[in-house]
Structure 1
Amino acid sequence: MNPSDTNFPAPERTHLRLGFVALSDAAPLAVAALRDLGARHGITIELCRQPSWAAVRDKLLSGEIDAAHALYGLVYGVQLGIGGPQADMAVLMVLNRNGQAITLSRPLADAMERGASVKEALHSLGRTPVIAQTFPTGTHAMWLYYWLAAHGVHPLRDVESIVIPPPRMADALVEGALDGFCAGEPWHAVAEARGAGKTVAYTSEIWPDHPEKVLACRRDFAALYPATARALVRTMLDACAWLDASAHRAEIAQALSSPALLGVPGALIEPRLAASDGGDARALPVRFFDDGAVNYPRVSDGLWFITQYRRWGMLDADIDDAAVATSVNQTALYRDAAQAAGIATPGERRAATFCDGRVWDGGDAARYLAGFEMRA
C-alpha cells in the first residue's frame, strides 16, 4: 500500500469487479487492471465487460459488479427512478471529459457539407429520421437532444430516438436501420471506416469539456466500504494521470484493441483517443486527468442532467434537485482521496457556454430551465 494511505483504514474489500462497456473511454479501468495500479492501494481489479448500459445498471443493482465505468446520466436516471428501478446511487469521480460525437448517414452528412442545415438535411429524407443513443437518461441522449434542439429540430417530435448498445451502432448504420447516432468512440471511427456515415458534430462542441463517464456504485457500497471506495478512487486517479502522456494514449489504444476489451483495430481507436486535437480540429481532446481538473464530481454537473430531464418531460416530481445531486456526488470521499494523492480540488462552480449560447454555472437551475423555448 502507498505510504500516503497509512492515515486511512485498510480497504474492507480487496478484490473488486468493475463493469465497463466497449468504449475508448473505458481506458482508465483498462490501465488500472493491466498495470495492477490497485496494488499500491490494497486492492485488485477484475474487469467485467458488459454488452449494454442496461446490463451495467442491472449488475450494479444486483451486486454482480461492485462499481463501473458508467454514463453520468445512467446514475442519475436510476437515482430518480426514470432510468430503471429506483436505487440510491453514488458518483465517486469523473473518469473523462469530451470524447463523444454525433454521426449521420453519408447522404445526410453530404447534404450538410453542401450547405444544408441540420433541419433541412433531416427533412430531406421525407420521413421521420431514426437516430440512436445509448440509454434513455444517458449522456448521449442528452447531448443528442440538446444538439437537435439547438438546430431547431424537436428531439421528441421530429425524430425517432431509439436505444442501441454502443458496439451495435456502426452495424445498424451500415444495415440502414439508422440515419445517425450519438455515442462514444471508437464507433464513430468504425462507421466512417466502413463508409456508412460521417461525424457531423463532437459533443465538446455542444458543451466544451463536458463531464462524460463516471466511476459509479450503489450508495450503500460506498457507505459500507468507505476505505475500499477511497482506494478505488485513488487507483483510478493514478490511471487517469498515467493517461495524460501522449505515448501512453497510443499504448493503451493498442491494448484496448484486444477482443476482451473493445475488439476494434488499434488504428481506429488511436486517432480519436491519442491525437492532441481529438483527431479533428473541431473537437476538444478527450481528457482524463489534467492534474485532477477532470475528476472532481461537481454537484452542479449532476444538477444539469436533472434540468434536462425536466426540460424533456422525463421528470416532473416535486423534489429538491440540488439535494439529490448533493447526495449522489460523493464530493467528501473524493476530496479525501485526492488530498491523500496531493491532487488539488477545483472549485464547485464552473461556467460553461453551450452551442446555443446559453450559459450554465449551476447557480439558478429553475431560471436556467425556464429559459428554454424548445421543450417537451
Structure 2
Amino acid sequence: MNISSPAPSIGKPEKTHIRLGFVALSDAAPLVAAKVLEFGHRHGLTLELCRQPSWAAVRDKLLSGEIDAAHALYGLVCGVQMGIGGPQGDMAVLMVLNRNGQAITLSNRLTEAFEQHGNLKDALATPGRRPVFAQTFPTGTHAMWLYYWLASQGVQPLRDIRSVVIPPPQMVDALIDGELDGLCVGEPWNAVAEARGAGKTVAVTSQIWPEHPEKVLASRRDFVEHYPQTSRALIQTMLEACRWLDNSQHRKDISTWLAAPDVVGAPQELIVQRLLGHYDPAQFPVQPPGVSFFNEGAVNYPRPSDGLWFFTQFRRWGMLHGDHDDAAVAVALCQTALYREAAASMNVRVPEEMRADVFIDGRVWDGQNPAAYLDGFTSQKSASAG
C-alpha cells in the first residue's frame, strides 16, 4: 500500500494511548484507516477505536473522559459548547474529517406522493397525519440538513413534521416498520434503505450546501490544553488517513474493513457505492458531489465560519437564545493554530480562511455578517406568509 514516509516530529506526545469514539457510519473511515494501517505509530500514538451506540453516547463519553477524542457531528460539538438540550462543556474541533456524504431518504409511499404532486408540501399532506422524520441528534448535522432542505421546499419543520432522534443503524428498520416517513442520515444507511426496498434517496446533502462540513475530530478543550503535543500528533495521524482515502482503490479497501460487524456492519458493496459517489442515475441524472475526505487539504481546515453557521441555525430554529458572541465562541471552538502547525509539518496546504457558499435556496453564507444572514430567514418567512 502507498503509505507516506514519516513526518517530522514537532514534539513528543504527552499521552500516547488514545481512545477514539465513533458511530457506525462510512465516514468513520479516517479513524478506521488510521487504526488498520497504524498511521499513529509514526507520530508516537497508539489508537484504540471505541464504537458507540449513538451520538448521545459519544457526547457523554467525551465529557466524562472515557474517550479522548471522537468522530463527531459538527453540530453536536457546537450544541455541547452552548449547553443546548444537555450538559455544557468547553469543546475543541481539531479538524474536519469529511465534507458531504449524507442524504435524505423518503418512504416509498411518500416518494410516490412527492413524484405525483411535484412538490413536497402537498406530498406531506397525503398520510393524513403529521409525517415523522428521523435525524440523529437534536443539534446534529442531520437535523440541520433536514430542516434546511424542508424549509427550502416550503415546509415548516417545527410545524409540518414531527422530528425524532434515532441512532443511524436503527433507522432502516424503523422505516421498514412504518414508524418513519423519512430520514436524514449518513451512509451507508440510505443505500441500505434502498437495497432493502424501504425507500428512496431523494436528496444528498451536497445539494443543500456544497462541500459542507460534516464530521469533525472533536475533544474537550481541556484535553487540548493538557496534551497539546498529543492533539497535534492526532491531527497529523488523521491527515495521513484522510489523504490515503483520496485514492479510489483505497476507498474500496476501506469499505471491506468498514463492513466488519464490529465497525459498521453493513454490506461492503453498499458502503463502497456511496463512498465512490455513485447514486441512482434515475434519481440523480447529474451525479452530485460525494463524500470528500482530503482534496489536497481543502477538506480538513476547521474554519470558524463553519461552526458559526451552525449557531445561526440553532437561533433560526429556536434552540439558542441570548446575546452570546457566537463568532467568538466559534473561534475558540476551532483549533486553527494547532491545525496549521500540524498541517505545516505534513506539507498539507491550508485553504483560505473565508469562503462564500451558495445554498439550495440561493442564500449565500460567508460568515461575515451572521446577524444579517439570520435576519434574512425571518424576512423570507414574513414575505412568504404575506
Cα drift, residue 125 of structure 1: 1.3
- 1:174-215 Cα offsets, whole Å, 9 max, x none, are 011110100100110111111111011100000011000000
CA contact (8 A) 1:278 1:286 kept: no
| Counterpart position of 2:81 | 79
- Cα deviation, residue 84, structure 1: 1.7
C-alpha distance in 2, partners of 1:315/1:85? 14
Match of 2:367 among 359, 362, 367: 362
Aligned twin of 1:63: 65
Matched, 1:108 2:110: yes
* Number of matched pairs: 374
- The separation in 2 between residues aligned to 1:221 and 1:96, in whole angstroms, is 22
Higher mean alpha-carbon deviation, 270-279 vs 324-333, is at 270-279
Distance in 1 (alpha carbons) for counterparts of 2:8 and 2:334: 22
Of the three residues 300, 307, 315, the one matched with 2:312 is 307
The structure 2 residue matched to 1:92, chosen from 87, 94, 100, is: 94
Aligned to 1:294: 299
- Hey, what does 1:342 align to over in structure 2? 347
| 8 Å contact kept, 1:349–1:362 | yes
For residue 371 of structure 1, the aligned residue among 368, 376, 380 is 376
Give the structure 2 partner of residue 135 of structure 1. 137
Counterpart in the other structure of 1:14? 16
Deviation at 1:232, TM superposition (A): 0.3
Q: CA deviation at 1:293?
A: 0.3
One-letter amino acid matched to 1:99: G
Alpha-carbon distance between aligned partners in 1 of 2:193 and 2:323, rounded to the nearest angstrom:
42
2: CA distance, partners of 1:176 / 1:4? 51
TM-score scaled by length of structure 2 = 0.94
The answer on 1:283 being equivalent to 2:285 is no
- Unaligned 5+ segments in structure 2 are none
Q: Does structure 2 retain, via aligned residues, the 8 Å contact 1:98–1:209? A: yes
Match of 2:263 in 1: 261
Quote the Cα distance in structure 2 between the aligned partners of 1:110 and 1:346.
42
Instruction: Provide the C-alpha distance between the structure 1 equivalents of 2:61 and 2:138, rounded to a whole number of angstroms.
Output: 18
Larger mean Cα displacement after TM superposition, 83-92 or 269-278: 269-278
1:202-250 deviation line (CA, Å, top 9, x unaligned): 0000001100000000000011000000000000000000000000001
SS of residue matched to 1:46: strand
Aligned pairs (5 A) from 1:178-197? 178-197=180-199
* One-letter amino acid matched to 1:329: C
Specify the alignment match of 1:31 in structure 2: 33
Question: In the TM superposition, what is the alpha-carbon distance from 1:172 to its structure 2 partner?
Answer: 0.3
Aligned pair in 2 of structure 1 residues 293, 237: CA closer, same or farther (>3 Å)?
same
- In the TM superposition, residue 124 of structure 1 has moved relative to its aligned partner by 1.2
Q: Partner residue of 1:154?
A: 156
Deviation at 1:295, TM superposition (A): 0.1
Distance 1:147 1:277 in 2: 19
Structure 1: 5+ residue runs without aligned partners? none
More off after superposition, 365-374 vs 326-335 = 365-374
How far residue 4 of structure 1 moved from its aligned partner, in angstroms, is 4.0
**Does the alignment pair 1:173 with 2:178?**
no
CA distance in 1, matches of 2:331, 2:236: 21
Deviation at 1:283, TM superposition (A): 2.2
Q: Percent identity?
A: 66
